[in-house]
Structure 1
Amino acid sequence: MDSHAGRCGLRTPMPPATTKMAMQRAAALVPLAGVLEDHGVSLASVLEGTGISAAEVRPDAFVAYADFLSVLDNACRLTGRDDIGILLGKRQTLTALGPLGRVLRHAATLGEAIGDFAAFQSHNSTGGSVYIMQADRDVILGYGVYDTSAPITNQIYDLVLAVGCNLIAELTGGQVAPEEIVMSRAAPRDPTRYTRLARCPIRFGQHQTGVILRASVLDFPLPAADRAQHDLALAQLLSVRHGTPLPLSAHVRHLLRPFLLRGHARMAEMAERLGLHPRAMRRRLRAEGTTFDAIRDEVRQVAARELLRLGDLSIADIAATLDYSTPSSFVHAFRRWSGTSPGLWRKAA
């Protein structure tokens, strides 16, 4: 593998998804042509071989999540810019979120807005999840990929972080800024592009990727707050979910990445979160041809390979991050998935 391809992403074979293809709203790709033009690259060349056509690069379209990530990787490779995710993310506004953006804009407070973002983000993506975690006096607005068919890439995390910083600034009229940024990727050669992104400290090589806010700023009143408009936008969002309703397995998959980080990746806890009795949840998942343990295995595989490939956490730290009781239990599971140890897989990657 050439060194630049390694920085952009790694197409590691992944097990097939057990449900329908993960999808992503294509609105985030709309500004890409302008970013590429600045670097003398055509949109057509970046889309080639990805499965996404130029006609699909529009705000109301949905594309395969894995193809969306492939576009980011191609853009990185062809422009020679391994910060292409940041460059694209800096051009995003609330309108890129579609109907969800209107819900956020008219929320009463920043806390309500990011709560809505996490709660309803599955209307825009079923390949990665936005989540909120409380940490001491801070709140983390994080993101994690869980689509088993997606290529492993830094670019999606760079894009999401830039989008997160932009949204916070847009929602608050620039009055609130992140306290800190954490990223699971290893430190890049030039970290200043990240510190310039939000003008705050950044820590690389962490167990998750997200924007950290002081809990006190969640009460910040939004200038466009309007309860009637918020509730109307939310009703419209709930009435126009793309395609058919998500199966239960998709909801479980969407919630599991943050549940792993919290150490709550148990069926009883997931069932409670979804308002189901564990037996009912087990029965419905079986009817969809899967089990809670199988879905948890899938999400753990995606997260493990990302942490091994993109970051430099120890095997023990990764095991703890993925809610394994011991490092040896993680190593055993990884061998079962991949036929090799996490350490050897990391070296080969």
Structure 2
Amino acid sequence: MKPRAAAAGDTALIRAASLRGFVPLVEELGGDPLRLLARFRIPQSVLDDDDGLISITAHDLMLDTAAEELACPDLGLRLAQRQDLGILGPLALAIESSSTVAEALEFATRFMFVHSPALRIGVEADPRAATGVVAVTYRKDLRESPYSPQAMELGLTLLRRICAAMLGGIDGLRSIEVPHAPISPIEHYAEVFGVPTRFHAPVAALRLDRRVLDARFSAADESIREVALAHLSANYTSPHGSTAVRVRGALSDGLGTVSPSLPQVARLLSVHPRTLQRRLAAEGTSFDLVLDDVRRSAAERYLTTTDIPVAQVAAMLGFSEQSALSRAVRRWFGASPRSLRQGESGNLSS
């Protein structure tokens, strides 16, 4: 099944800066970027504001579709060449003024949610267990949005370019780890990354000599760094620490395998059901509302990006019968599951 347009109401978002350079690139490839934006319900005006937010599912599916339709399998790699650290907005200043690579990565780990709550950067043990090597990992929350080869290659290439620019090159870079199969000629990856690229990896990552983490930046500025961190802390609250997000994660992980009930989720989170209810109420929501939102996002994802039978989707979402899913989909989107799959939703903005 070919990628389909995603809804503007997706809960997983990304800053519009991630599409910097997309319009001229598509035009150079002979495509119509405005048609692609409209098809995936991304307002053209949002590209004028780096801080504008768009659906990460729409963003990623548009990249995959553009690559396919324009016969440009390395579209993500090319787009990354037109971007730099600046696309991270307020986080960029904190990273640029860091004293060491380790400190810059710590800030990226703490505040990557500012760019997109669905994306995470971390420093982990080397997946290949080499001595003196660490992995700078790049992950997307697949509970929120489908995997995208083009978006993954965009993120990995940009991460590599940022590290190289700040260090004046990366002598200690061992390899680039890519979770999917190669979608461009192998020699092209070697040209872009400058090191071996390993495919079908367990996690997307840059494998580095551990000593690289101690490398110091000549542009380090403690006063600027403190101002940048104060701004991030005061103006951006991580969504990952709220009770509603933890409940959402537990429900997303368990859909189709465990009963989506308050007692079951409370047990998974090691709290009393009444305590969980109180905490959700304090955040202005409830278990039923979170469950409904999780089901809505998952239903839209399954029905618009896969060919999974509707009856199976109903079971995966914890509905007792297909008719219950049909009623819910009609309430959410003003259309039947079949119509939604065909792109005929009545409740989604265009």
User: TM-score, normalization: structure 2?
Assistant: 0.67
Matches within 5 A, 1:46-125: 46-57=36-47, 58-125=49-116
Structure 1 residue 30 corresponds to structure 2 residue 9: no
Give SS of 1:24's match.
strand
Please, which of 34, 39, 44 is the counterpart of residue 29 of structure 2?
A: 39
C-alpha RMSD of the superposition: 4.0
Larger Rg: 2
Question: Is the contact made by 1:179 and 1:212 (CA closer than 8 Å) also made in structure 2?
Answer: yes
Provide Cα deviations, 1:197-229, integer angstroms capped at 9, x if missing partner.
Answer: 221111111211111111111000012111111
Q: Would the alpha carbon gap of residues 182 and 110 (structure 1) be closer, same or farther in structure 2, given more than 3 Å must change? A: same
Q: How far, CA to CA, are the matches of 1:283 and 1:338 in structure 2?
A: 22
Residue number in structure 1 paired with 2:336:
none
Pair 1:62–1:155, CA change in 2 (3 A)? same
Pick closer, same or farther for the CA change 1:124–1:45 going to 2, 3 Å.
same
Cα displacement (A) at 1:289: 4.1
**Pairs within 5 Å for 1:297-312:** none
Give the counterpart of 1:237 among 217, 232, 241. 232
Alpha carbons 1:172, 1:223 under 8 Å: kept: no
Q: Which moved more, 1:101-110 or 1:164-173?
A: 164-173
- Structure 1 position 187, deviation (Å): 3.1
Residues 25 and 62, structure 1, Cα contact 8 Å, conserved in 2: yes
Asked if structure 1 preserves the Cα contact closer than 8 Å seen for 2:277 and 2:287, the reply is no
- Whichever residue aligns with residue 115 of structure 2, its letter is N
Q: Within 5 A, what are the aligned runs for 1:1-349? A: 1=1, 5=2, 10=3, 21-57=11-47, 58-135=49-126, 136=129, 137-148=132-143, 150-176=145-171, 178-188=173-183, 190-241=185-236, 247-250=242-245, 282=276, 287=281, 288-290=285-287, 337=316
Q: Deviation at 1:178? A: 2.4
Query: CA contact under 8 A between 1:132 and 1:139: conserved in structure 2?
Result: yes
In 2, the alpha carbon distance for the partners of 1:252 and 1:102 equals 33
Q: CA deviation at 1:282?
A: 4.9
1:316 maps to what in 2?
none
Q: Secondary structure of 1:174's match?
A: coil
Distance 2:41 2:101 in 1: 37
1:106-163 Cα offsets, whole Å, 9 max, x none, are 1010111112111110111022322221225222122222254534421111111111
Deviation track 1:1-38 (CA, whole Å, cap 9, x = no partner) reads 4xxx5xxxx5599xx9xx97111111020211221122
1:61 CA displacement: 1.0
Aligned length: 280
CA distance in 1 between counterparts of 2:272 and 2:203 reads 32
Quickly say closer, same or farther: Cα 1:283–1:93, change in 2 above 3 A: same
Q: Mind listing any 5+ residue stretches in structure 1 that lack a counterpart?
A: 258-266, 272-276, 310-333, 340-349
The corresponding residue for 2:325 is none
Shift of 1:102: 0.7
Q: Percent identity?
A: 22
CA distance change for structure 1 residues 131 and 254 in 2, over 3 Å: closer, same or farther? farther
CA deviation profile, 1:167-211 (whole Å, cap 9, x unmatched) = 101221225552111111023351222222221111111211111
Whether the 8 Å contact between 1:126 and 1:250 is mirrored in structure 2 is: no
Match of 1:116, SS state, is helix
Question: In structure 2, what is the equivalent of residue 322 of structure 1?
Answer: none
Deviations 1:43-81 (A, max 9, x none): 202212211111101312111221211321232133211
CA 1:289–1:35 in structure 2 vs 1: closer, same or farther (change >3 Å)?
same
Alignment partners' CA distance in 2, 1:168 and 1:197: 14
Q: Secondary structure at the match of 1:184?
A: coil
TM-score (structure 1 length as normaliser): 0.67
